[in-house]
Chain A
């Protein structure tokens, strides 16, 4: 493969950067198009996001109404509403749940054809996942945010850097989430099936990412521990805190930096695990 045909699209430091970028872009486009075929699922999913937006928003606003300073976890009413609605919009973009493609391919043996391709599986799957996130950012992000803005007063950022930081943070959330999901799925290389780990993941990720309630409602020591010791707040809580300007400019940027560190760690770990798995892999199926 190294001496390979120049026409084979691949990603390699030995090839010109433009060729690698073109391959990565083509893989992203394939991920985008794959999800673009399920238009009805977009409508169905957005409806559910909106219902849960109303549910969580009303509950958190009731907490704010009863809280002593009117600001549970340091969020005012507008920040809480924005946290909930933008959170519902980001849920599918970040794609915390429902990814078992890799585990299924390992279980059935289809992974063998991925290994024959001239692009490393982690890179190829990351590209496709970024394409998926791009499609869902265009379709699934907007409906809950619009409905939330109509039904509740939302927070408008005051700092110039908030929106670009939020954009970077969402990208890092997608990459970090991809790394986590890849690792959870990759347990199938050893277990044959990733159902158990996937269930643990579904159970822990929602609550530790800040989907059920903002993590700031927990005691401070616990919040900091979760943030530093796990990649999970980086999947949802960090972009949302950045957007609603929960912290000063310094900490706001610091949280994104921490998120970047975790995203890099998770993807690097996924690459290491993939290499280890390839060394022992027994392809299933006939």
Chain B
């Protein structure tokens, strides 16, 4: 209970600081939502030049873009700011977090909660709703459950990728932009049907890292489409398991990383 009150206090402080400069906060919240809108409109622009992308129509591809947009926006809202960790490690300011009697990761997440990304989650959800509306989905209880769990699994998966990428800073302080290749790169990868990618690049991102289960397989299962790459029809239902595995791995790596942390001593 005391822990809960401590987290509530952190969250309250974050809220007050975010709304201290209202105009600036409004600009930030709008530009953030605009970012997701631009990502999605890229898909529309590409479909003006072609009818099929990787064997999928605009409506079908939008299902994947929508699942990704909703899942990524939720992950970005909750744990996205963990990518600031490299700054804390470099400056040694993680010390302040470590000496408090609370878990490290939840503290960082709540104290940095990027409220400016709130509207972005709304845009992500809207894209998913449009995608569902533009496809003739044969609804079964299992598919309804999948539609609810897939964006959440996507959020857990992307959240794990955020934590894993950020943990890299414990081993390599100057890792800089490497994390973005997997967080934002992963978002771009899963915004399109994975059949557009080729060779080892697809193998690594889709199945080596598990990104295929964020949006591609759930979308195929929802649409009742056979996988052109040959995985069985129920593959979409595996996505929560993949997300949990990623979360478990992220938790382990994070713990090892925190133990490895050395302050700068300044």
- Complex Cα distance, B34 from A65, in Å, reads 30
- Structural contact, B175 and A44, CB atoms closer than 8 A: yes
With contacts A55-B185, A59-B196, A199-B31 taken as known, whether A41 is within 8 angstroms of B174 at the C-beta atoms is yes
Which residues of A have CB within 8 Å of B201?
54, 58
- Complex Cα distance, B209 from A71, in Å, reads 32
With contacts A38-B174, A40-B174, A41-B174 taken as known, whether A195 is within 8 angstroms of B28 at the C-beta atoms is yes
Which residues of B have CB within 8 Å of A217?
45-46, 48-49
With contacts A51-B185, A52-B185, A203-B35 taken as known, whether A59 is within 8 angstroms of B177 at the C-beta atoms is no
Which residues of A have CB within 8 Å of B35?
203
- Complex Cα distance, B180 from A55, in Å, reads 13
Which residues of A have CB within 8 Å of B50?
62-68, 72
| Chain B residue nearest to A208 in the complex (CB) | B38
Q: What class of interface size applies to chain B in its complex with A?
A: 35 or more
Of B24, B31, B176, which contacts A203 at CB under 8 A? B31
- Complex Cα distance, B237 from A95, in Å, reads 43
Of B176, B180, B181, B192, which contacts A59 at CB under 8 A? B192
B18 to chain A, nearest CB (A): 13
- Structural contact, A218 and B45, CB atoms closer than 8 A: yes
Of B32, B34, B177, which contacts A48 at CB under 8 A? B177
With contacts A52-B188, A63-B49 taken as known, whether A199 is within 8 angstroms of B180 at the C-beta atoms is no
Which residues of A have CB within 8 Å of B31?
196, 199-200, 203
Which residues of A have CB within 8 Å of B24?
193, 195-196
- Complex Cα distance, B37 from A207, in Å, reads 11
- Structural contact, B49 and A203, CB atoms closer than 8 A: no
- Complex Cα distance, B31 from A260, in Å, reads 30
Most buried by B among A38, A55, A195: A55
Chain A CB within 8 A of B197 CB: yes
A76 to chain B, nearest CB (A): 13
Per-residue interface assignment for chain B, residues 2 to 36, with 1 indicating a CB less than 8 Å from any chain A CB and 0 otherwise:
00000000000000000000011001100110110
- Structural contact, B176 and A55, CB atoms closer than 8 A: no
Most buried by A among B28, B35, B46: B46
- Complex Cα distance, B175 from A38, in Å, reads 11
| Chain A residue nearest to B27 in the complex (CB) | A196
Dominant SS among interface residues on chain A:
helix
| Chain A residue nearest to B51 in the complex (CB) | A66
Which residues of B have CB within 8 Å of A67?
49-50
| Chain B residue nearest to A71 in the complex (CB) | B49
Which residues of A have CB within 8 Å of B48?
217
Chain B CB within 8 A of A118 CB: no
Which residues of B have CB within 8 Å of A55?
185, 188-189, 197
- Complex Cα distance, B203 from A54, in Å, reads 13
Chain A CB within 8 A of B129 CB: no
Per-residue interface assignment for chain A, residues 161 to 201, with 1 indicating a CB less than 8 Å from any chain B CB and 0 otherwise:
00000000000000000000000000000000101100110
A-B contact pairs, 22 of them (CB 8 A): A40-B175, A41-B176, A48-B177, A55-B197, A58-B201, A59-B196, A62-B53, A63-B50, A63-B53, A65-B50, A68-B50, A72-B49, A196-B27, A199-B27, A199-B31, A199-B32, A200-B31, A203-B34, A207-B42, A212-B42, A217-B45, A217-B49
Binding site for B on A (CB under 8 A): 38, 40-41, 44-45, 47-48, 51-52, 54-56, 58-68, 72-73, 193, 195-196, 199-200, 203, 206-207, 212-213, 217-218
Contacts A56-B188, A66-B51 supplied; 10 other A-B pairs, CB < 8 Å: A41-B174, A41-B176, A47-B181, A48-B178, A52-B185, A60-B46, A62-B54, A72-B49, A200-B27, A203-B35
